[in-house]
């Protein structure tokens, strides 16, 4: 989350970082808050490569859509501990809430939802640190191709999630910075005009549904917490 020309030091254990500095072409250094999630898309790779529940990452959406919800199953992908805002190096991966009726689709769906839950926790921490209210979330990266994940993220946050036409925003950002430095672009205004939305996912959950999902997630995180130190 970009915080402007003054660094904000997090009380929620997020990282304060330099977003960019355009030098003579800009208004000085611009800062951001960063939340590191250890297992996002890598969780889906684990389903594919280790558990063999899916054959491709893209298949996760099709499989997860075979059930209307996870039926109370939560997967906490703390395979290497938990990142922001928990920072628990002793947490370990956990699946809770399973019943005799739990199947492959529920676990795949819970894995996808875990990405959204972790993002929710980071974004809540960012809002608490900055006093800013999230009005929408712009996303990028390979996982954003998953419509089910993007819709669930919008539902949890209660704000629109906007996917751009080009999801490789990180690479484009590097190219844009180089373009500004060499004089190919005049500044950020010209770059911002190049950005185009591909699809907007609008939230459908009620506040009660959001609270129910988040309460379950945090209960699952509590059970995964400090597992390796016991």
Mean residue pLDDT across the chain: 92
Quickly tell me which residue has 């974004």 as its tokens. Answer: 123
Cα separation, 184 vs 87, in Å, equals 41
**Cβ distance 139 to 168 under 8 Å?**
no
**Cβ distance 87 to 14 under 8 Å?**
no
Cα separation, 21 vs 30, in Å, equals 6
pLDDT band (50, 70, 90) for residue 24: low
Please report, for the chain, the start and end positions of each structural domain, with discontinuous segments joined by +.
2-229
pLDDT digits (tens, 9 = 90+) for 168-206: 888 888 898 888 888 888 777 888 888 889 999 999 999
Q: Which residues in 199-229 are b (16+ Cβ under 10 Å) and which e?
A: eebebebeeeebeebeebbeebbeebbebee
Cα separation, 19 vs 90, in Å, equals 30
In the chain, where does DSSP find H-type helix?
Answer: 41-49, 59-64, 104-130, 147-157, 169-182, 188-192, 207-224
Q: Which residues in 76-105 are b (16+ Cβ under 10 Å) and which e?
A: bbbeebbbbbbebeebbbbbbbbeeebeeb
Residue 174 has what pLDDT? 87
Q: Residue 20: which H helix or E strand, with range?
A: strand 15-21
- Among the listed residues 161, 75, 157, the one whose alpha carbon sits nearest the alpha carbon of residue 112: 75
pLDDT digits (tens, 9 = 90+) for 37-82: 999 889 999 999 999 999 999 999 999 999 999 999 999 999 999 9
Which CATH architecture is the domain 2-229 placed in? 2-Layer Sandwich (3.30)
Q: How far is CA 90 from CA 78, 82, 214, in A?
A: 9, 8, 22
Residue 165 has what pLDDT? 87
pLDDT band (50, 70, 90) for residue 11: very high
- 25 pLDDT more than 70: no
């Amino acid at each position: 989350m970009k915080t402007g020309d003054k660094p904000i030091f997090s009380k929620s254990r997020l990282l304060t970082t330099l977003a960019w500095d355009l030098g003579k072409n800009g208004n000085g250094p611009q800062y951001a808050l960063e939340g590191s999630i250890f297992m996002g898309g890598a969780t889906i790779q684990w389903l594919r490569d280790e558990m063999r529940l899916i054959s491709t990452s893209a298949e996760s959406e099709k499989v997860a859509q075979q059930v209307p919800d996870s039926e109370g199953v939560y997967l906490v992908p703390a395979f290497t501990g938990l990142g922001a805002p928990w920072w628990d190096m002793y947490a370990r991966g956990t699946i809770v809430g399973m019943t005799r009726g739990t199947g492959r689709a529920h676990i795949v769906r819970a894995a996808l939802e875990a990405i959204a839950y972790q993002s929710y926790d980071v974004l809540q921490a960012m809002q608490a640190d900055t006093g800013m209210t999230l009005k929408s979330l712009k996303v990028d990266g390979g996982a954003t191709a998953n419509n089910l994940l993007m819709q669930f993220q919008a539902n949890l946050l209660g704000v629109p999630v906007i996917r751009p036409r080009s999801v490789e925003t990180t690479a484009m950002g590097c190219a844009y910075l180089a373009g500004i430095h060499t004089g190919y672009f005049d500044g950020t205004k010209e770059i911002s005009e190049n950005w185009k939305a591909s699809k907007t996912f609008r939230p459908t959950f009620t506040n009660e549904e959001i609270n129910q999902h988040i309460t379950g997630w945090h209960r699952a995180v509590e059970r995964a917490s400090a597992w390796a130190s016991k």
